[in-house]
Amino acid sequence: MTTQTQITPLAAAERDLEAAKAEVARIEQENAPIENEFGRLHEMLENATATGGSGSPEARKAAAGIAAIAKVVKVGRQRLEVFQRRVSIAAERVESAKAGEAVARHAVADQRQRVSRQAEALGVTRRKAAEQQQALEAEERRLVDLRRDLAVLIGEDV
């Protein structure tokens, strides 16, 4: 017989979070070369503009390079944002699952306390009932004794 282990909501959420984080890291690594080139071209444009003006050949070359890769950079950043949102959503699911577990654990602890109090109250009631039973039996014995004494006094058969 094979026993299947059921994955908990928290474990599933944590697994999804780790997968989303790994995807973000992969996308960041994929985007790094083009982002570095984009940054290098911007720096080149700033330097060329500062030294030779915005119409200098170096500035035009840098601006053309920026324009050439801007769409690729934008798409890469948008893709990264999508997966960063997935990380945020997965992190919220983890927190929600943890909160759900905490609420359930608290409910179990509260119910255990209620059961314990009920059992204690029932024990007290049972002890009182046993004492009452003993008192009743003593009163019944006393009644039997008194009837016997009465029967003797009035001459009746017991």
Instruction: Give the per-residue pLDDT at 2.
Output: 57
CA dihedral 122, 123, 126, 131 (to 10 degrees): -140
CB 65 within 8 A of CB 41: yes
Instruction: Give the per-residue pLDDT at 157.
Output: 80
Q: Which residue has the tokens 């330097």?
A: 47
Q: Both tokens of residue 139?
A: 């009163």
Biggest CA-to-CA distance, the chain: 143
Residue stretches of the chain with pLDDT short of 70: 1-4, 158
Looking at every residue in the chain, the average pLDDT score rounds to 93
Q: Both tokens of residue 144?
A: 């039997």
Q: What pTM was estimated for this model as a whole? A: 0.65
